Amino acid sequence: MIKEESTTRENFDNEFIKTSSESIQNVKNAILEEKKNSDETESAILEMLKEMIAKLKGEIEKERKDRESAEDRLLSLLEDTCSKLNTNSVTVKDKIL
């Protein structure tokens, strides 16, 4: 009877150890899978952010060039206008004198 109880207890202990080990292994596997998924998600987000930054930099550069072009056209127009005003002013002065 004592031997049977001892054997039963040993079987129970072995089964408990086996079940516990399997549970621990399942938890480890789940953690590793979560880590892998997290790393993949992080990489995807970083890549997406890099693409967005590149796109925004391109748009900013285009806007800067467009603004500079508009400023150059406006400056040219102002210079032409000033030149015409000066020419007209000289012509008016010549007519007056």
Specify the amino acid at residue 76: S
Specify the amino acid at residue 38: S
Distance of CA 46 to the CA centre of its chain: 5
Does the pLDDT at position 95 exceed 80? no
This model's pTM is above 0.95: no
- Render pLDDT for 55-72 as a digit per residue (tens, 0 to 9): 999 999 999 999 999 999
Between residues 91 and 75, the one the model is more confident about: 75
